[in-house]
Amino acid sequence: MAPHTGPRAPRPDVPVALTLLLGWVLAQLTGAAGDAHKLAARNVTWNSNNFKTVLEWVPTASNHVYTVQISTQLGDWKNKCLQTTNTECDLTDEIVKDVKATYTARVTTALAPVSGNSPDSLFSNSPPFIPYLETNLIQPTIKNFEKIGTKLNVTVQDPLTLVRVNGTFLSLREVFQKDLSYTLNYWKDSSTGRKSVRTDSGEFLVEVDKGEKYCFSVQAVILSRKTNQKSPESLTQCTRREKGIARETVVILTAAALVVTILLVIALSVCLCKCRKRRGLQSGKEHSRLSIT
């Protein structure tokens, strides 16, 4: 057979084919990584009130479990809430060990049941969190109050926190010390105008108008913070209106006193008259006896 002498079909360019193959593989890997990333927890946030601190997140897929890790800046990672189906993890027992430290947490997502370690791409990191600066202050309470004359005396109850030393829970004052102050907001019951006064202790003694009813509330304040300085206001408390003597009562009492005075004068006059008559009769009898003698 004679050799083929016509034009041959062009052979594919080997580098081009290899490039296309590598592109396809890269696309598959990128897609897989993207799918894996979609399974990771989203919106990892801290929810902390008076140092009660819970890490929360939003799930993106069902049939998954989560493991939480927490660390200070030293990189001392600790596992918490292992393979839980919940979307929150209480980390209070860790952050109260040092409320001034900076903490970071991360949530690992894995298929249930878990086999082996989850890939790094399923880690979802939280923002850094400093409990001393960021925990929300809870609403304070009024221990007692009293209004005497022109003085209003209010005492605030320092709430307990979950921070412990030697097994004893510390109060808000013991944790924040000089950084903690309280603001008293007070106003006349018949007025909308409010006044405020601050104290570094938990006691207030303010001048008010005598005879007026006052209402008030208090707030905890951490002035050293740049944000989140104030707690919600306490429940509003009001003093009782001081009871004065009614005008009608004054008139009645005055009239009664006048009547009593008049009656006493009349009774005294009658007594004096009777005494004079008796003395006159006795004097007449004595004079008659002397004449007969």
Tens of pLDDT, residue by residue over 69-107, are 999 999 999 999 999 999 999 999 999 999 999 999 999
d(CA 240, CA 254): 28
When pLDDT is cut at 50, 70 and 90, the band that residue 246 belongs to is very low
Phi, psi dihedrals of residue 32, rounded to the nearest 5°:
-65, -40
* Domain-embedded: residue 224: yes
Say if 252 falls within a structural domain: no
Our CA dihedral for 57, 59, 65, 70, rounded to 10 degrees, sits at -20
Q: What is the pLDDT of residue 273?
A: 77
Last residue of a domain, one of 238, 256, 280: 238
Same structural domain, 56 and 99: yes
Please tell me whether residues 45 and 121 are part of one structural domain.
yes
User: What domain count does the chain have?
Assistant: 2
- Which tokens sit at 111? 């298929």
Give a yes or no: residue 269 inside a domain: no
Judge residue 91's burial from the number of C-beta atoms within 10 Å of its C-beta, 0-12 exposed, 13-18 middle, 19 or more buried.
Answer: buried
Q: For 16-25, 46-55, 131-140, 251-260, which range has the lowest pLDDT when averaged over its residues? A: 16-25
- 43 assigned to some structural domain: yes
Judge whether 251 lies within some domain. no
What pLDDT score does 258 carry?
Answer: 76
Per the domain annotation, does 178 fall within a domain?
yes
Is residue 43's pLDDT more than 60? yes
The domain in which residue 167 lies consists of 141-238
User: Does residue 291 fall inside a structural domain?
Assistant: no
- Predicted confidence at residue 229, as pLDDT, reads 95
Q: Which CATH number do you get for residue 104?
A: 2.60.40.10
Asked whether residue 62 falls in the same domain as residue 149, the answer is no
Q: Output the average pLDDT for the chain.
A: 81
Q: pTM for this one?
A: 0.67
* pLDDT of the residue at 122: 80
| Residue 12 placed within a domain | no
Q: Are residues 175 and 127 in the same domain?
A: no
pLDDT of 120 reads 47
One domain, residues 111 and 155: no
Per-range mean pLDDT, top range of 40-44, 57-61, 259-263: 40-44
Under a CB-based contact definition with an 8 Å cutoff, are residues 212 and 195 in contact?
no
Percent of the chain with pLDDT over 90: 53
| 176-228 tens-digit pLDDT | 999 999 999 999 987 778 899 999 999 999 999 988 899 999 999 999 999 99
